[in-house]
Amino acid sequence: MMNLSSTMKAYGCRYCVSPLKQLLHTTNHHLRFRPRSPSLFSSSFNNLKLPNFNLLLTSNSLFFTMEHLWGRSGMNTNKKMVEHLQQYGVISSEKVARVMETIDRALFVPDRTPAYADCPQEIGYNATISAPHMHATCLQLLEEKLQPGMHALDVGSGTGYLTACFAMMVGPQGRAIGVEHIPELVASSINNIEKSAAAPLLKKGSLSMHVGDGREGWPECAPYDAIHVGAAAPEMPQALLDQLKPGGRMVIPVGNIFQDLKVVDKNPDGSISIRSESSVRYVPLTSRDAQLQS
């Protein structure tokens, strides 16, 4: 049986990992719960129903704990999803809550999937859209660098959800750039954004999606106040450090077998300060061919 510790782990990686590796390595992001009602939290744990082993071998199997705690059946609106994230202490920022309410996650997941459950969804090409709590975590870590007029880069933009959130936060005078190396995902992300509240920003050009190798960033619009990376680099990518503005911040998982979600701040003098936010498990920041063959 899986060990259900007080510090829960939930999936937030953008790319799919082998189910066997998921089982062997507990391959997920830390999520720190701060429930308002301890009795409710204890009751939720006592009522968990563990899946059978066959279910554990499905791509999202390790996240059944989150789905039970957050209630898939009751999570039927974007607003309720955000309220749950607030209730459990994942979202503390009013601005992040407002943006996540404005950008409807259902527009960015495949049809007939539980858009508001706190678990990832497969989007094809061995990729996923991360769980809502991971989006909220990254938005809060970068919030100070996502002020109106600032520039933000989303490496591995997938369906475009987080890039759209960035665009709403930096506004029409800012720039939000999504970079994704799967052309089909870039095309679908543009379609998704066109249906969302961020559509005017896409039309204006302050939000744009590009096909490219995210490991090289997007130098045309650099430097960036905020950079988000959705896969683990074996070491800090120099190209992304170079494109980070003095005073800017990057959130990136770094490591091989053992990984940490790093918060990288470039000081005004150009020096770099790095701290670890939590232990995580992502698949590698890699090439398009390697991703498609995984």
130 part of the active site: yes
Q: How far is CA 164 from CA 91, 153, 267, 271, in A?
A: 18, 11, 27, 30
Q: Which two tokens stand for residue 142?
A: 């970068």
241, 254 Cβ separation under 8 angstroms: no
Enumerate the H helices of the chain as residue ranges: 19-25, 38-46, 53-56, 64-70, 78-87, 94-102, 132-142, 161-170, 183-194, 199-204, 238-243, 288-293
Catalytic option among 59, 130, 273, 287? 130
260, 276 Cβ separation under 8 angstroms: yes
Give helix 132-142 / helix 78-87 axis angle, nearest 10°: 70
User: Which residues are the active-site residues?
Assistant: 130
